[in-house]
Structure 1
Amino acid sequence: MQYKRADRVADVIQRELADLLQRRIKDPRLHRVTVTGVELSDDLRLAKVFYCFMGESAEQENVARGLERARGFIRRELGKRVYLKFLPELDFRYDPSFEYGAKIERILKELQTDD
């Protein structure tokens, strides 16, 4: 299986973003954010950053605002760590897959207790 350059760069960006969020961001809204994936356009100009967070679903809007507010700082710090001709624009998108997984797990547990 052959990987495109965009896929390899996306993996590097995901690792660096996760490290930045864990170690460099001081905004308390972003302490429980996890980067679940990065999709990079073929021209490496746009990065869709998928994230989830551990907390109440009501906090989702605050987390999104925190990421938008920190976008410039995150991109600047990313530029210091990843050397590319053009640093991609970051587009943060909430990833609901963990919520779905937790919901399915609850349903399966309920079915087990019913038996």
Structure 2
Amino acid sequence: MSLKTERMEMTIQREISHILQFELKNPKLGFCTVTDVQCTNDLSQAKVYVTFLGQQGRNDAGMRVLNQSKGFIRSGVAKKIKIRKMPELIFIQDTSLEQGNKIENILKEIEK
């Protein structure tokens, strides 16, 4: 992956986090954290990995809010960074933390 792509991923992650925290006013979103952003090499798409604090039902509602607000978030990021073509945002729920907890519990059971 090129340095340009990595810098763009970090910038997009920072700006989306800021928009979700301060500009997007939707109580259904809850507490949302952007854990990672992965852009394609041509910067046409950006996969945005997010986690939610709370129950699964709130996670589903949060994902619906993000997908409905995709245009607002994309235009907000495009205004803050100077780029010719803003990547299409694809929101994906990051379950790596939950999987890590399951593995940790299994390892604790094995140790007993």
Q: TM (normalized to structure 2)?
A: 0.87
**In 1, Cα distance between equivalents of 2:103 and 2:72:** 36
User: Partner of 2:21 in structure 1?
Assistant: 22
Q: Distance in 2 between matches of 1:41 and 1:78?
A: 17
For 1:60, the equivalent position in structure 2 comes to 59
Quick one: percent identity of the two aligned structures? 38
Q: 46-55 vs 23-32, which deviates more?
A: 23-32
**CA distance in 2: counterparts of 1:58 and 1:110, whole angstroms:** 28
Letter aligned with residue 42 of structure 1: N
RMSD over aligned CA atoms reads 1.8
- State the one-letter code of the partner of 1:88: P
Give the Cα separation in 2 of the matches to 1:34 and 1:20. Answer: 11
Q: Which residue of 1 aligns with 2:80?
A: 81
1:3-14 → structure 2 map (5 Å cutoff): 3-14=2-13
Work out whether residues 37 and 49 of structure 2, in 8 Å CA contact, stay in contact via their aligned partners in 1.
yes
Structure 2: tracts of 5 or more residues without a match: none
Structure 1's consecutive aligned runs of 4 or more residues displaced over 4 angstroms after TM superposition are: 105-112
Distance 1:48 1:4 in 2: 18
Distance 2:109 2:55 in 1: 21
CA-CA distance at 1:81 after TM superposition: 0.7
The one-letter code sitting in structure 2 at the alignment partner of 1:57 is Q
Structure 1 segments unaligned to the other structure (5+ residues): none
Give the counterpart letter for 1:65 in structure 2: R
CA distance in structure 1 between the partners assigned to 2:96 and 2:13 by the alignment? 17
